[in-house]
Every structure is written in structure tokens, then in C-alpha cells.
């Protein structure tokens, strides 16, 4: 089997969160280049439309849905829209995330810590829960964590580091389920 055929996603449907910038854009475009149709979600609608155009330019069908992964109903709406448009979901890439502002633990505002954990951990869970209801056996959930889950960069990032470490535990548990 040729190496590139191992990455063939023809006939598959992917959902990618955090697809308005950075890795999310690259992942969505790569999925389309491999043959997948791609539903994308992020909070910044205009940038999301730019990513949708990249997906379509790569030969895939794209669907952009404004999504805040910290809102359970937004997660379900993204999955529902993907099902309506494409009839299935085979791949979820939980990419939405942010480190927020970095403060020493003794000065970290509670709302900042909660926001970072809500986005990085809870958003991944709400999306996995939503797709888990419609995915068929053999489907994949890909959770993006960080090297910060395993080590320190010697910078104050308690919320981000702990949320990304929790994503690793979440991934293990969901895989077992």
C-alpha cells in the first residue's frame, strides 16, 4: 500500500474546531486535501469563512458554523449541521484552545483560570460528547493537547498546563469507552 493512500480520507467527514486560525486552518485544509468534507467551527465567523474557502479550493465541501465550544448547545449545533449537510461524522479534531493571559498562580484571577479550563478541557468534552452520539464504529476523535501537559516552560501557565494535562486523561477515558 503506497504511503499516501494511508492518508486517504475520500468519503469521510471531519469536524474541526478552532478552525479560524493557526493549526485549525492547517488541519481543516489538510483534511480537505486528503479528500474529506469538513465542517468547521470557531467563534470568529469571518475568519471561519476564509477557512471554508480554503477547504473548497482544496476540493472538499466545507461548512462553517460559528461555534463557541464552551457552550454545549453550540457544540451540538455544529454536529447537527454537519449531519444535515454531509450525513455523517467520521473524524473530530478538538483543536479549539487558548492559553489566555499568564499570571503567577498567586495572582491568577479565578475567572481567567476557569475560562482557560472551560475552553481547553470542557470544550473538548462537549464536542466529543456531541459527536459520540452520531459516530459509527471506526470513527476517530483527535484531541489536541500540548507539551505543556507533560513539562513546564518555566512560565506561569497553571490553567493551561492543567487543562491540557486533563485533555490527556479525557482522551484515555474516552478511548476506553
Residues with a known catalytic role: 160
Q: Residues near 149 by Cβ (< 8 Å), separated by ≥ 6? A: 161, 164, 165, 167, 168
The torsion angle over the Cα atoms of residues 119, 121, 124 and 128, rounded to 10 degrees, is: -140
Q: How far apart are CA 127 and CA 61, in angstroms?
A: 21
Between CA 101 and CA 97 the distance in angstroms is 13
The answer to whether 123 touches 75, Cβ cutoff 8 Å, is yes
Say how far apart CA 71 and CA 82 lie, in whole Å. Answer: 17
User: Are the beta carbons of 158 and 108 closer than 8 angstroms?
Assistant: yes
Name the residue among 127, 149, 13 with its Cα closest to residue 75.
127
Amino acid at each position: 500500500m503506497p504511503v499516501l493512500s494511508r492518508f486517504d480520507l475520500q468519503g469521510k467527514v471531519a469536524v474541526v474546531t478552532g478552525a479560524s486560525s493557526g493549526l485549525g486552518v492547517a488541519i481543516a485544509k489538510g483534511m480537505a486535501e486528503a479528500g474529506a468534507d469538513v465542517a468547521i467551527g470557531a467563534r470568529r465567523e469571518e475568519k471561519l469563512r476564509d477557512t471554508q474557502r480554503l477547504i473548497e479550493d482544496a476540493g472538499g465541501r466545507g461548512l462553517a458554523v460559528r461555534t463557541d465550544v464552551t457552550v454545549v448547545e453550540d457544540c451540538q449545533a455544529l454536529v447537527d449541521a454537519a449531519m444535515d449537510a454531509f450525513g455523517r461524522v467520521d473524524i473530530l479534531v478538538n483543536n479549539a484552545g487558548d492559553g489566555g493571559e499568564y499570571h503567577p498562580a498567586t495572582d491568577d484571577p479565578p475567572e481567567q483560570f476557569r475560562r482557560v479550563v472551560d475552553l481547553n478541557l470542557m470544550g473538548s468534552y462537549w464536542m466529543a460528547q456531541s459527536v459520540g452520539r452520531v459516530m459509527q464504529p471506526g470513527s476517530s476523535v483527535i484531541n489536541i493537547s500540548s507539551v505543556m501537559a507533560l513539562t513546564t516552560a518555566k512560565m506561569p501557565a497553571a490553567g493551561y498546563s492543567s487543562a491540557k494535562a486533563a485533555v490527556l486523561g479525557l482522551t484515555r477515558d474516552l478511548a476506553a469507552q
